[in-house]
Structure 1
Amino acid sequence: MISFVTKMYIRYLGFGLLIWFPGALHAQHATPSCSAPRLDGGFFSPKQETYSDETALTYTCNDGRKPTVKGWWATSTCLNGTWSPEPQCIDEKACIAPDIPNAQYIEKSGWYNDGHKIRITCNEGYDPKDHDVTTTCINGKWSSVPVCEKNIHACGEPPQIPHAVIILQGYQEFFAADTTVQYECEDGYTVEGGDAKKYVYCIAGNWTEGPVCRTSTTSGSNERDGRPLYTKVEHCGAYPNVPNGDVVQQNDEFLKYQCNAFYTQVGSDTVKCYNNGSWSQLPICQTAFCSLHPADPVWKNLRLSGVEYIKEGEKKYISCIRQDFFSLVKCINGETVSTRCCDRYYHYYGRCL
């Protein structure tokens, strides 16, 4: 057993060590400092060999150079042993990475050399204004920076439905035209037909009618909640007309529609008959092509013998008036996007924009 005198000796020995070596305890919690940064082509203040954490310094660049941020001077802060952002002077003809709202592009660094070209992609629900998707660094400034504007056919947030949730990975403010959004009813609720999942569609800026989630105990009887039951299709009489679509399958329980070529289907392809003589919601056959008319001045440089059609998402090489020159025309969201007239060499190497 350790005696009382021995315990006191150990206690005072430990206290003495802390008095002799206070730095040992402090070192466990010290934050790394920063060494003076190396700044080629510029100078900074204050000038020191080391800087404590959270110290800020100001720097500027020599003639012919500039900081990697806006303005002729910049600041950098010591954070956990590293300067943030790193002080750097670049050629004054280089360009700082542009801030383009609602767009994305491959950002290789915070700045780009003179002559560098950037190609952007607008976020979902936005389109490039005037189909302009590139900008070039020219003598320190970006030429005609692209603008991403809200698509007139895009939709806002989907409708909120009681006892249902949207199956999405994250919140979105806008949705592109023809977007499909899936709902799922909470436990104990189902939608008509016994399926716990339902879809809505963005059509010309509006969402189609959403599902109704009912308690499972009453879902078997539509008449209790005021909704009619399904019956044989013959009860509803003549088949409903779906513009640009046709009935491709039929039986006593339902009709199945299919859209014609160059049209895309929005909504369920199956239609049923209610016992009150009305049909369930019909599908919509939406235009899914672009057309090029010879009389349109936009296509005056192309050889068009008649109206040229391009399916949604597809592209075609169209001959130009100039011999052996072509334009690549794409159909995107019902609108045409085309390159200028170029020869095969420029198209092959992606230099025809």
Structure 2
Amino acid sequence: MCLIGLEMQSNCVNGGKRFANIRLQKNSNYQFIDNAFVFQIISEVDGCPPPPDILHGQLRGNKKQKYSPNETMEYQCDNGYYISGSRTITCLKKQWSEAPQCRANVEKCGRPPSIENGDIIDLLKDEYKSGERVIYKCQRFYNMEGNAAVSCQNGHWSDTPKCIVPCTASQEDMEHNNIRLRWLGKDELYSTDGDVVDFTCKRGYSPAPSSPAFRVRCINGIFEYPRCIRI
């Protein structure tokens, strides 16, 4: 029989095999596997208390009473403040790595930048306080890539979105490749980036041996047209 106690040495016997002078800690996890005595000491000595609070910011996620070594937590700042230092802290043997600070955004921004094939839907001003934002929109048939909301952050605007050009299935291009739109009775079609369009051969034509597929996806404003040849 093995007795486990704080700073206790035990002589354990299992299957006729004796394990002498094994020092075990209180609350150790242990078990017998294939006549071998296996144990793992779970130490609370190296753990960390709850992470420190910071002014004008908070932790992401829920706090715990105890954290294991190498466990990490992340901070975020309130609106109008930016993070100074690493937003992630790590439990390092009883204490946390240095927590960041949240500093006030005090610098202002000028007019927000314009974007190609897009507009700002808000009324423009000559000056914006830190934390203020504007909303962009793309022209018809253009897809937006990125966040429509752009904010003033400590004198600088955050990244602006891009308006991705649509694909145009023009009558000229279709005539050149002897194809037409399969389902739509139109001479021209605008398709947003990522959309799929079906083509078919004109009457009296059949697919060319080396033709791309007749179901075509719009990619960055370009259709890879299929081709047909006269029967």
TM-score of the superposed pair, with normalisation by structure 2: 0.40
Higher relative helix content: 1
Higher relative strand content: 2
Q: Which has the higher contact order (CA 8 A, sep 6+)?
A: 2
